[in-house]
Structure 1
Amino acid sequence: MARTHGSRADITGPLIREQALRLFARHGYAAVSMRQIAAAVGVQAGTLYGYTADKQALLAELLTDHMERLLTAWEDDPALPPLQRLERFVRFHIAYSLDHSDAVFLSYMELRSLSPENLAAVTALRRRYEEALAAILRAGQDSGEMTVPDTRLASMALIGMLTGVTNWYRTGGRLDRARVADIYWDLARGAVGA
């Protein structure tokens, strides 16, 4: 299939993903058509199919890409004390979530829109991230620095709490990012009994 005159694969492909992410995050996956994405990019609707099989494949790519980038960006240091590792995780998650708020929002709100196969793939990536936090909590329990009744549940609850920052935080608001991270760290420390 020929590309629209003037389009370039190295520009059009990323632009399709960027606009799809923006539109899905603003209006919801079900409410956005391929025609709307094409219009936002400035190409004909048929052009999109040179870059993605369909809207489902595009959503799966966006969610998979988000989780892979998140996993690549997070670096734990098991040599550090567990509380320091937890603090690093909290501050990382807050910063990453605020820097990628549309991707984070989509990752939580549109899991329901994935096909079973795509859901399984994205869920496996999410579990790897949850396990990274669970490893920190287990180390904290082993050292006696933390107390949680269920490590898996605590991991999911902490991630849910931290991710919630994307729903309310606004640049220029009452609290700056550093203060928000400080407060979330205090909350997380309390949640693990430290």
Structure 2
Amino acid sequence: MARTAGSNGTRTLESIRKAGLRLIYRQGYEAMSLRQLASEVGIQAGSLYNHISTKQDLLFDLIRVHMEELIDRLDKTLEGVAGPSDKLDAFIRFHVEYHIARKREVFISYSELRSLEPKNYDAIVELRARYERRLIAVLDDGVAAGVFATADTTVAAFGILAMLTGVCTWFKPGGRMTKDEVIAVYTGLVRDGLARDADKPKAISPPPPPPAGGAPGA
């Protein structure tokens, strides 16, 4: 992606990125034109090429920056957190909070992956794999320490990520549940799914039905 030197060029580039994010989220990458993008920013279409090389470069840059920031912030979140259980809780909270806050970036990084050219696609898939490996490592440590139980940590990580990322499709600020309540539910689901059999709560048998003809509690 081309870069224009100077503060004005930096501000214009940031405006282009924000406008591109809005347009791609709203109508899709294929439907967005560079002329429309320029109009959204308030510059001539030809001036776009002082800041970006192609529409493909813009899409790749948006997804790449999103993924690199996601990984960097996760690493900072987990830094200093001891023990696989606490790391798992920290990962869940981070993932949900970040994905609620960056709904547009997350949507584009998944829905427009197919629109990337092969070399760009491969680069983004590798960044996604780096993020996934962070969670797999936490699960591996938990299994090794005897606090988690799962037949396959990679499959478990993919399942957890799919569930957590789904929050983008339904969570609404001011809705029935707060963000912290949602995080607590997800944390419980993940923890229960990874619990060893010995740690799982025993099922409580229902009380026997009352005798025929007798009133309940009689």
| TM value normalised by structure 2 | 0.82
Matches within 5 A, 1:129-168: 129-168=131-170
- In the aligned structure 1, how far is the partner of 2:24 from the partner of 2:61? 13
- In the aligned structure 2, how far is the partner of 1:125 from the partner of 1:103? 15
Indicate the percent of aligned positions where both proteins have the same amino acid: 40
Shift of 1:145: 1.1
Aligned to 1:58: 58
Aligned to 2:214: none
Aligned length: 189
Aligned to 2:190: 188
Asked if the contact 1:82/1:140 (under 8 Å) is kept, the reply is yes
Shift of 1:27: 1.3
Moved over 4 A (4+): none
Asked if the contact 1:60/1:114 (under 8 Å) is kept, the reply is yes
SS of aligned partner of 1:53 = coil
Q: In structure 1, list runs of 5 or more residues that go unmatched.
A: none
Say yes or no: does 1:123 pair with 2:134: no
- In the aligned structure 2, how far is the partner of 1:92 from the partner of 1:100? 12
Aligned to 2:202: none
Shift of 1:36: 1.6
Aligned to 1:88: 90
Q: Which amino acid aligns with 2:24?
A: F
Q: Choose 1 or 2 for highest CA Rg.
A: 2
- In the aligned structure 2, how far is the partner of 1:45 from the partner of 1:90? 43
Shift of 1:78: 7.0
- In the aligned structure 1, how far is the partner of 2:129 from the partner of 2:37? 30
Say yes or no: does 1:37 pair with 2:37: yes
Residues 156-165 or 125-134, more deviating: 156-165
- In the aligned structure 2, how far is the partner of 1:60 from the partner of 1:134? 26
Asked if the contact 1:68/1:125 (under 8 Å) is kept, the reply is yes
Say yes or no: does 1:47 pair with 2:34: no
Q: Which amino acid aligns with 1:152?
A: T
Q: Which amino acid aligns with 2:106?
A: V
Aligned to 1:104: 106
Asked if the contact 1:17/1:62 (under 8 Å) is kept, the reply is yes
Asked if the contact 1:24/1:106 (under 8 Å) is kept, the reply is yes
SS of aligned partner of 1:74 = helix
Shift of 1:193: 2.9
- In the aligned structure 2, how far is the partner of 1:161 from the partner of 1:118? 26
CA RMSD of the aligned region, Å? 1.7
Asked if the contact 1:78/1:85 (under 8 Å) is kept, the reply is no
